[in-house]
Amino acid sequence: MTAVPAWFKSSYSSNGGDCVEVAANVPGAVPVRDSKDPNGPALTFSPDSFATFVSAVKAGEFGDV
């Protein structure tokens, strides 16, 4: 049985702003989608790849985001 993604937005998303949503309940994958298009496609990353990306964002490797 495939897990149904339980989507959530970052607490940094102010006033219900448009951003990405992530589902953390899918075993072995981290699906990411555009909050403005919840019925659209989702990108799926491995947990290690997503953790590396989040660490890079926190370290400022992409500038101010």
Q: What is the pLDDT of residue 11?
A: 75
Percent pLDDT > 90 in the chain is 60
Determine the average pLDDT of the residues in 8-32: 84
Distance CA 35, CA 17 (A): 9
- Global pTM exceeds 0.85: no
Determine the average pLDDT of the residues in 34-47: 93
Starting from the edge strand earliest in sequence, which strands make up the sheet with 42-45, in order? 7-9, 20-23, 30-34, 42-45
Does residue 1 have a pLDDT over 70?
no
Q: Which residues contact 63 (CB under 8 A, 6 or more apart)?
A: none
Q: Which residues contact 28 (CB under 8 A, 6 or more apart)?
A: 46, 47
Does residue 55 have a pLDDT over 80?
yes
